[in-house]
Amino acid sequence: MTPKISDTSPEAERVQIQILRTIPDWRKFMLLNDLIMACHERALAGLRERFPHADERALRRRLASVLLGTELSSRVYGPEPDPATWSVLPGDYLEKIRATVDTLVLREKLDEYLKEQASQ
């Protein structure tokens, strides 16, 4: 089996897959929800850093642009505040964020699960 995650050894990946196969579906949904919420929180933190004077409503509006894209979020929530959210992001910024969040959150969740299993 070739590793799906480039920095994970085949043995570690086998353990991860084995663990994921044993987790009940409800727990997988909880883990997925936690991952989504962590991504939203990190995206909001990044928006707060780039727009330090924006209020919570404006930040949430910008988050909608990140999650839905400029066109759909503008149709649903109205025009973006100036400057546009995407105008201040470097080209590969989102890919780097996604890769970092995926790696950190998955490792964190795996560590939590292993601790739970060890304590039982």
Q: Is residue 92 part of a domain?
A: yes
Q: Evaluate whether residue 1 is within a structural domain.
A: no
In this prediction, residue 113 has a pLDDT band, given cuts at 50, 70 and 90, of confident
Domain range holding 51? 10-119
When computed from its CA atoms, the radius of gyration of the chain, rounded to whole angstroms, is 18
* 85 or 70: which leads in pLDDT: 70
Q: How many domains does the chain have?
A: 1
* Residues of the chain above pLDDT 90, percent: 18
pLDDT tens-digit readout, 2-34: 545 567 788 888 898 898 889 898 998 898 889
Q: Which residues of 8-46 are buried (b: 16+ CB within 10 A; e: fewer)?
A: beeeeeeebeeeeeeeeeeeeeebeeebeeebeebbbeb
pLDDT (tens digit, 9 = 90+) per residue, 64-77? 988 888 888 899 99
Decide if 5 is inside a domain.
no
Distance CA 108, CA 101 (A): 10
Q: What is the pTM of this model?
A: 0.59
Among 35, 26, 21, smallest CA distance to 109 is for: 35
- Is the pLDDT at 35 greater than 80? The verdict is yes
Measured between alpha carbons, how far is 20 from 98 in angstroms, rounded to an integer? 21
Q: For residue range 36-70, list pLDDT tens digits in order.
A: 899 889 989 989 998 999 999 999 999 998 888 88
In a domain, 4, yes or no: no
Inter-helix orientation angle 93-119/25-50, to 10°: 140
